[in-house]
Amino acid sequence: KRFVMFTTSNTEPRNFDTILEKTIPNNENALQVNEYTLDRSMEVRYLKCVILAGYDSFANIRVKNWTLMNDVFPTVMIAIVYIFAIIFGRLWMKNQKPFELRNFMFIYNILQVIFCSYVTYESAYVWYEERYSFLCQPVDYSYRKTAIRACAACWWYYILKIADLTDTIIFVLRKKDNQITFLHVYHHLTMLFFSWYGGKYVAGGQSIFISILNSFIHIIMYAYYGLSACGSHIQKYLWWKRYLTQAQIIQFIAVILHSSINLLTPCNFPKIFDVAFLVYGMSILLLFSNFYLQNYIKKGKDKKTTRIKLE
């Protein structure tokens, strides 16, 4: 039906069509989608296995031995260390002077631009080679060159989400506590897990759309922060920050629309991930929209009111 079966043998995994062919019995509990059938109980099993992240028969075995991809435990530990770093880092910085970190920030942001550009290029290459379809783009679980490049692009995307946590550490060391908001922490933590689960289970297919879109937005975002780190003589030309936030909001709207279309289209791509992308996209859209409203709409009105009063 909607979920891909995998083999755990040492041989190369078979094509999705081959795996399902003549292996699923016809009975009243089976669902028919296109020419494939799959027992309803498999959907529940898939969900449980994705949550537990320890069942190789449902996982992308091509990345099993890749760094941090065998199971979710290292990612959980990274998240825990991240949370503790925020809590105890802020406590430690109470009696410390804020660090300048200007040179470090510039180098860090430039490296982010470079690696985000690489992920965008690799994802776009897969998009082009596979003739990406917005309606239905199943994951290619074979060992074809393009399929492996899709895996690599998703893996690098996950690594970048780990690197993104450095943003918060910089805020802590510079005592920019006002920037360590719920939106900021929620976004970084959730993207860390989304990227891991994406690489583990659906490296390629419809996931490539998010990889391209998000990585491209991050190129612009880190370019902005890199220029901002150069000092006030450059910062005065960075008038386009609000448009960067608008681009991020448009990105989440695109993800919501894309996931909604995929949910309504019969496709050999796990609907669990479409639902997850949709729900997450809606949650982050609400948070970013509220941020935009508070920081650009309301503040703009308050400044205008103050100016009128002074006049």
Residues known to be catalytic: 187
Q: Which segments of the chain does DSSP mark as H helices, in order? A: 16-20, 40-52, 73-93, 102-129, 145-163, 166-173, 182-201, 207-228, 232-235, 241-263, 271-292, 299-310
Question: How many CB atoms lie under 10 A from the CB of residue 140?
Answer: 20
In sequence order, the β-bridge partners of residue 37 are 32
CA distances to 48, 109, 142, 210, 284 from 53, rounded to whole Å, are 8, 32, 21, 21, 24
Annotate 141-172 with DSSP letters as a single string: -S--HHHHHHHHHHHHHHHHHHHTTHHHHHHH
Buried b (16+ CB within 10 A) or exposed e, 52-79: ebeeeebbbbbbeebebbbbbeebeebb
